[in-house]
């Protein structure tokens, strides 16, 4: 550290004599000014300055709270007109039925990994609640559904009730993946299906998922991803990606989400891939379970 070098007195080189610090003058000795001052005051000032800098130089605490969820929500998902958010909620409720029919077998396989002992569940991008039927009937589970679109709440509550989840066990919170509105190490399970395609910052979102999971907690995911590089479908995805982001609330077609999940540092990861037949442009998928 360069700032510490100034606190160390110079060392004499072999064969070199440092000039005397006193000069004889008319029978008496007068102290000459030294070239550098290494007195206690200098050390005290340097030490005080270094101590003042320690909070700036020290790495942030792992227990530090994330960015305020409300601030992050406004930053990455500013309010849309009510008509648009209601239209999008209706489209998700009515327009995804063929997709849900084809993906049902994979979801059933994935959610079978959940045990009845995992009670605290957060579903990220809960939407209208299409996943509730796979896990919400577990006795005693409490579900927090996070979604930036407030119009999803009514649809999600109706779906939760039909799946056997009491209203008292379901909480809807407006929020985004980059700053989840829950405490550290508080969730047994985090669920996300078709979510990471539309977040603003995928790596920050994955770090947030890890933050809120308890040690040993599970992250269950299904995401559509980019087709292999050089394929015709990958070229089509690249061409339509800007339009997709505009009409589908920020959804990206070309993300390699499986690689992001692999790189974030879960203690264990089971990841599979599949290609759906009735969703051409988003047909490549990854799905699996990661453990904190």
Could you tell me the pLDDT band of residue 41, with boundaries at 50, 70 and 90?
A: very low
How much of the chain, in percent, has pLDDT values that exceed 70? 77
Could you tell me the pLDDT band of residue 66, with boundaries at 50, 70 and 90?
A: low
Domains, the chain, with CATH or none: 69-291 (3.40.50.150)
Whether residue 19 has pLDDT greater than 80: no
Q: What is the pTM of this model?
A: 0.76
Residue 290 pairs in a beta bridge with 219, 269
Say if residues 226 and 141 touch (Cβ distance below 8 Å). Answer: no
CB 217: neighbour CB atoms within 10 A?
A: 22
- Segment 70-109, tens digit of pLDDT: 999 999 888 889 999 999 999 999 999 999 999 999 999 9
Could you tell me the pLDDT band of residue 135, with boundaries at 50, 70 and 90?
A: very high
Tell which residue, 75, 164, 78, 182, has the closest CA to residue 123.
182
Q: Where are the alpha helices (DSSP H) in the chain?
A: 2-5, 40-57, 69-76, 82-95, 97-111, 132-135, 152-162, 202-212, 232-247, 257-263
Could you tell me the pLDDT band of residue 279, with boundaries at 50, 70 and 90?
A: confident
Query: How far is residue 199's CA from residue 234's CA, in Å, rounded to a whole number?
Result: 20
Whether residue 243 has pLDDT greater than 50: yes
- Mean pLDDT of the residues in the chain: 82
Predicted pLDDT of residue 291: 97
Contacts of 118 (CB under 8 A, 6+ apart): 138, 141, 188, 189, 217, 218
Whether residue 50 has pLDDT greater than 90: no
Whether residue 37 has pLDDT greater than 50: no
Predicted pLDDT of residue 23: 41
Mean pLDDT of 168-186: 95
Higher-scoring residue by pLDDT: 30, 138: 138
Write the Ramachandran bin of 123: left for phi over 0, alpha for psi from -120 to 50, otherwise beta.
beta
């Amino acid at each position: 550290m360069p700032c510490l070098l100034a606190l160390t007195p110079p060392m004499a080189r072999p064969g070199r004599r440092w000039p005397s610090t006193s000069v004889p003058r008319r029978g008496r000795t007068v102290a000459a000014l030294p070239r550098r001052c290494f007195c206690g005051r200098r050390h005290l000032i340097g030490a005080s300055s270094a101590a003042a800098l320690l909070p700036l130089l020290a790495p942030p605490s792992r227990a530090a709270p994330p960015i305020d969820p409300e601030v992050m929500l406004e930053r990455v998902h500013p309010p849309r007109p009510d008509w648009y958010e209601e239209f999008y909620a209706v489209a998700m409720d009515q327009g995804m039925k063929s997709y849900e029919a084809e993906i049902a077998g994979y979801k059933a396989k994935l959610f079978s990994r959940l045990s009845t002992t995992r009670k605290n569940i957060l579903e990220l991008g809960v939407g209208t609640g299409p996943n509730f039927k796979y896990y919400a009937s577990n006795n005693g589970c409490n579900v927090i559904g996070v979604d930036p679109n407030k119009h999803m709440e009514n649809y999600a509550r109706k779906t939760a009730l039909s799946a056997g989840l009491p209203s008292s066990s379901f909480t809807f919170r407006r929020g985004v993946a980059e700053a989840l509105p829950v405490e550290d190490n508080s969730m047994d399970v985090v669920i996300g299906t078709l979510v990471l395609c539309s977040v603003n910052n995928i790596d920050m979102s994955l770090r947030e998922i890890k933050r809120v999971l308890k040690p040993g907690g599970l992250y269950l995911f299904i995401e559509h991803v980019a087709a292999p590089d050089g394929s015709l479908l990958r070229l089509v995805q690249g061409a339509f990606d800007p339009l997709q982001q505009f009409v589908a609330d920020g959804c990206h077609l070309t993300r390699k989400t499986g690689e992001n999940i692999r790189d974030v540092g879960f203690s264990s990861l089971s990841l599979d891939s599949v290609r759906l037949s009735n969703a051409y442009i988003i047909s490549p998928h990854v799905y699996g379970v990661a453990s904190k």
